[in-house]
Chain A
Amino acid sequence: MKCAPLLIVILSLIAFSSCEKVINVDLKNEIPRLVIEGMVDDAGNPAKVIISKTAVFSANNNYEKIRNALVKITDNLGNIFLLAETSAGTYTNTTLTGVVGRTYHLSVMLDGKSYTASSTIPRKAILDSLLVDNNAIGNAGQKWIGVVFRDPVGFGDNVQVVQTINGKGDRLTHVAYDLYDDGGSSAFFITTGKIKLKVGDVVKEELRFIDENVFRYLLGVQNLADGFTIPENPNSNISGNVLGFFSAHTSQTKTIVIP
């Protein structure tokens, strides 16, 4: 698949230099809402669900963790996996390893209410390698990583990349939309936001093939960060009017050191 950067990336090139100032804005504070984030992958990482609440804008990010929820994942073959609370608000199961093609069904029971979601692990392509290139479209002299993989023939193979730089997550969202059906090799270049990569930096890229609902959710998150569309909460694939998402995806990881 050729990963066409969405319009967003093009628009960010045309940002004008200007005056920036941190200001105080009077914001309405919504009463805290429930956030559920869950994931299952095929690489042996534990299935994990994190349940928390939203905080007000001016607060520090120590979100309230929700304890004592009943969390369960079942697959379409009838297997049931219970997730135990291993730390406050985090529920895991180390025996569940996802399989490509299977549909996983999440169920969270909390305070008498039930929240459910489904996600199917899509097919994947092999992550070939990572390469370092100059990001001439970004700021001068910036480097960025291209994630190289072979695209399956056909459309709809959307991907997400999770980037970790020197052990810390980059706190950005990177998704790409499958526009090409060639089956050839393609490279998805990962932006680094305000972080400037330098010689010796260790960069880990995790390539995930995600289903359509998860792609749209993460694209919604990416749009919020880019600021070129009217802000809206991304469409969660979890029922019950909650925030967050449930993703069953493939996972492959490679690491590179910036030369």
Chain B
Amino acid sequence: MRFLFLFLFLAFGLASYAQDKQSFTISGTIKDAGTGETLIGANVLLYATKQASTLTNAYGFFSINAKEGTYKMSVSFTGYITDTATIAIDKNREFFIGLQSKNIQLDVVVVNSKNKNENIAKAIMGVDKLNMTEMNKIPVLLGERDILKTLQLMPGYKSAGEGNSGFNVRGGGTEQNLILLDEAPVYNASHLFGFFSTFNSDAIKDVSVYKGGMPAQYGGRLSSVVDIKMKDGNQKKLDIEGGLGAIASRINVSAPIVKDKGSFILSARRTYADAFLGLIKDTGQGKQSLYFYDINLKANYKISKKDRLFLSGYFGRDELVLGNQFSTDWGNKTATLRWNHIFGNSLFSNTSLIYSNFDYKVRVKFGSDEFRIFSKIEDFNFKQDFDWNISNKSKLRFGGNIINHTIAPGAVVFATSTGGAAKPVQNRFSNESALYVSHELKATYKLEIIYGLRASNLAVKGAGNFYSYDKAGNIIATTSYAKGKTVVSYFNLEPRFSASYKLTELSSLKASYNRNVQNLHLITNATSNAPYDVWLPSTNNIKPEIADQYAIGFYKNSNQGMYEFVSEIYYKALENQIDYRNAAIILGNDNVESELLYGTGRAYGLEMMMRKKTGRLTGWVGYTLSKVEKKIEGINNGDYFNARQDRTHDISIVGMYDVNKRWSVSATWVYTTGNAVTFPTGKYEANGQTVFLYSDRNGARFPAYHRLDLGATLEARKNKKRRYQSSWTFGVFNAYGRQNAYTITFRENKNDPAKSEAVRTSLFSFVPSVTWNFKF
């Protein structure tokens, strides 16, 4: 007993001695030493007898607490040389550290061992970061680097099809992905009917993608968040880079506004006017063109040590003109104004004003009649986020936002009228708001949890007429609301939880649960890639879509950090899913809600990935086994049916190999089971033609899809005296020419209508590409 007392007294004494030591905050920003670009997710490690570490936030800011004393501080980030220094902490200190990029060194340096296991400890799961340098080596169609196409090479993100930059995450529809460019949502992230995405990788600094375990600061879509951050621009000197490719050219200019205080970046990309004309049907009449362009702009300025201002914008457009009888164009515009402010040393604040717009126009001439369609979705968003570093074990994030949505769903207007009026399609107004709080806690050495709550609300506003329908879709009541009046409101609580438990230093088990709510619905019954989307907010008829996702995962790294293995299983339950009546009329229909059917969905699967991160050969192998089904009242007798995006197996193998200092080669091989489709089960004659008979919805399968892409990059000899550098990128898409089915259609034989046949259409085989890249 005496022994115990003595022990307790000593322990207490030591503890109180330890309490006497004051705690200070070390904070600051980590940047690229050569350009001044802030580094997102850089690891800052402080160690003496114990260690504490943190990651820089989206603006390169970090904050870490330490008791008085002397420490070794180590800052590291993939692709950069780790910086280590000994520091004395006797007051709050700020550090602005520049890391040297490894690219400018001719010798290869070993990756710092301290942060390579950070993926094991962090509670966040279902998140992937795209490495921009790696991405530039991966071959893609026609030589245009594409972050969304590269993302689809990772398990869990399935391509929605060749020539479609949409993707399905854990069974979700392509409209269930929140794609953010500097916090502004991009509603249609594809060019040229889906062959390319709208993101010019020259302007992109960081891409973080969440397919599960979405933290509470994100909301609005059910399946994923693709958080894309633009580069800020070179703060030290003028930087010009660009490239001339097979189908497009691009240029990227960045320079300081005031050295080390402010900079700007401007990126532009455009396809050649007639590069794609060979792809579309030749009408032989008048001018034809098919092209797209993108412009990314950003400027930032450090007003004071604690304040920084950013302004970013994106403008992109696609245009198709076929003679003087048909023309169409569509595109996104986004703009974000942000103010970062640091309160004290531990509270980081970000205030944003965000604008986003997607619109499309169609003009068609039939004889002397001309009609036009115009549609848009436009958002104004005010957002406030706080990031509070309470202690090294506890971080609190909280904030809120409010978005005003205005949607013109696509009225058809006749330009040559002889009186009367077209059936009007009303604009839709709504306010979507949210408040969130999220706590990241290192509960014990082995256990880290992030738990949070997002409270979201959608208020449907007038002016407008709102309809009630019977089961058959006939209008039974119409109520008129004045401008600004609330028609109906939907309030939802979205709990978010994820935890990580370290089994060993190199392995961990993670689990997560999320509820996500989506109040913007993409109404389209077309299976093609046309950009003629109709977005509708929830209404008195359309309820918010809800997803509950449960996931568990096992993570393991190899000893030296060379290999990383991840395996996750998930289950997602979906409510208030939307489908369509037969022969639904979507475009130009003010009563489009009468065409909708509702039900539920479920998706589950297993994802595995093995990654080799270091050495001359790097890359990964990914495999997904999954199922996604829907159950809609009025379709398939109300039984579960495979969703169109259901594909059982998904394999991707990506390899990048540095042959020598100048040559590197890469290859990707993908294999997927075909999509679930509806094929005929018979035929009959009606209305003077053969009509095919169908039974189970999506009860058949497309043939399997697979292809091999090869790429090679040749760097020009590096001349240390000259600033000018150049490189060539070569690629072959679908190197063994597999005729993958883009569509399979059924029709009468041209010569003998009594016979029926199936026709497979394939798109690209053996497509080579050459791009020349330069950099000043």
Chain A: residues with CB nearer than 8 A to chain B? 2-7, 10-11, 13-25, 27-30, 32-33, 35, 37, 52-63, 131, 133-134, 136-141, 146, 153, 155, 162, 169, 171-173, 177, 179-187, 189, 194, 216-221, 223-225, 227-235, 243-245
A221 contacts B281, C-beta separation under 8 Å: no
Known pairs A138-B283, A172-B689, A232-B697; A7 contacts B586 (CB<8 A):
yes
The 8 Å CB contact of A2, one of B324, B369, B526, is B369
Instruction: Chain A residues near B326: list those with CB within 8 A.
Output: 13, 136-137
A21 contacts B420, C-beta separation under 8 Å: no
Instruction: Chain A residues near B585: list those with CB within 8 A.
Output: 6, 177, 219
**9 tightest Cβ-Cβ pairs between the two chains A and B:** A182-B420, A140-B284, A184-B418, A30-B681, A136-B325, A219-B583, A220-B583, A171-B689, A54-B682
- Chain A, residue nearest B534 (CB): A7
A57 contacts B281, C-beta separation under 8 Å: no
Instruction: Chain B residues near A59: list those with CB within 8 A.
Output: 683
How far in angstroms is the closest Cβ of chain A from B761?
5
Bound: A10/B366 CA distance, A: 12
Instruction: Chain B residues near A217: list those with CB within 8 A.
Output: 583
Question: Is B756 located at the chain interface by the 8 A CB criterion?
Answer: yes
Question: Is B45 located at the chain interface by the 8 A CB criterion?
Answer: no
How far in angstroms is the closest Cβ of chain B from A36?
9
Question: Is B760 located at the chain interface by the 8 A CB criterion?
Answer: yes
The 8 Å CB contact of A140, one of B285, B320, B692, B754, is B285
Bound: A232/B694 CA distance, A: 6
A225 contacts B683, C-beta separation under 8 Å: no
- Chain A, residue nearest B682 (CB): A54
In the complex, 6 of the A-B residue pairs with CB atoms within 8 angstroms, ordered by the A residue number, are: A2-B371, A4-B588, A14-B193, A21-B762, A140-B281, A169-B689
How far in angstroms is the closest Cβ of chain B from A35?
4
Instruction: Chain A residues near B759: list those with CB within 8 A.
Output: 20-23
How far in angstroms is the closest Cβ of chain B from A126?
16
How far in angstroms is the closest Cβ of chain B from A66?
12
Question: Is B742 located at the chain interface by the 8 A CB criterion?
Answer: yes
- Chain B, residue nearest A232 (CB): B582
Q: Chain B's interface: helix, strand, loop or mixed, by majority? A: loop
How far in angstroms is the closest Cβ of chain A from B325?
4
How far in angstroms is the closest Cβ of chain B from A170?
8
A sample of 12 more A-B contacts (CB under 8 A), given A19-B762, A155-B423, A228-B527, is: A3-B366, A7-B532, A61-B753, A136-B286, A146-B366, A162-B688, A171-B690, A180-B422, A184-B420, A216-B583, A221-B689, A230-B644
Within 8 A of A (CB), among B726-776: 739, 742-748, 750, 753-763, 765
Chain B: residues with CB nearer than 8 A to chain A? 163, 193, 278-286, 320, 322-326, 328, 362, 364, 366-369, 371, 412, 414, 417-423, 525-528, 530, 532, 580-583, 585-588, 635, 644, 678-695, 697-700, 739, 742-748, 750, 753-763, 765
Instruction: Chain B residues near A17: list those with CB within 8 A.
Output: 278-281
A231 contacts B694, C-beta separation under 8 Å: yes
A229 contacts B760, C-beta separation under 8 Å: no
Instruction: Chain B residues near A139: list those with CB within 8 A.
Output: 281-283
Bound: A189/B684 CA distance, A: 27
A133 contacts B283, C-beta separation under 8 Å: no
Bound: A113/B284 CA distance, A: 56
How far in angstroms is the closest Cβ of chain A from B575?
21
The 8 Å CB contact of B688, one of A171, A185, A186, is A171
Most buried by B among A27, A35, A59, A179: A179
Bound: A5/B369 CA distance, A: 11
Known pairs A5-B364, A146-B366, A187-B366; A18 contacts B761 (CB<8 A):
yes
- Chain A, residue nearest B286 (CB): A136
Known pairs A140-B283, A230-B525; A133 contacts B367 (CB<8 A):
yes
The 8 Å CB contact of A61, one of B683, B695, B698, is B683
How far in angstroms is the closest Cβ of chain B from A27?
6
B418 contacts A23, C-beta separation under 8 Å: no
The 8 Å CB contact of B681, one of A4, A28, A133, A141, is A28
Bound: A10/B373 CA distance, A: 11
- Chain B, residue nearest A187 (CB): B367
Bound: A60/B532 CA distance, A: 38
Bound: A67/B189 CA distance, A: 57
Bound: A59/B680 CA distance, A: 13
Bound: A6/B328 CA distance, A: 15
How far in angstroms is the closest Cβ of chain B from A129?
12
- Chain B, residue nearest A151 (CB): B420
Bound: A33/B691 CA distance, A: 13
B742 contacts A18, C-beta separation under 8 Å: yes
B421 contacts A180, C-beta separation under 8 Å: yes
- Chain B, residue nearest A62 (CB): B754
Bound: A232/B632 CA distance, A: 14
B279 contacts A171, C-beta separation under 8 Å: no
Bound: A182/B580 CA distance, A: 30
- Chain A, residue nearest B635 (CB): A232
Instruction: Chain B residues near A216: list those with CB within 8 A.
Output: 582-583
How far in angstroms is the closest Cβ of chain A from B266?
31
Instruction: Chain A residues near B693: list those with CB within 8 A.
Output: 30, 33, 54, 233, 243
Known pairs A137-B325, A231-B694; A183 contacts B371 (CB<8 A):
no
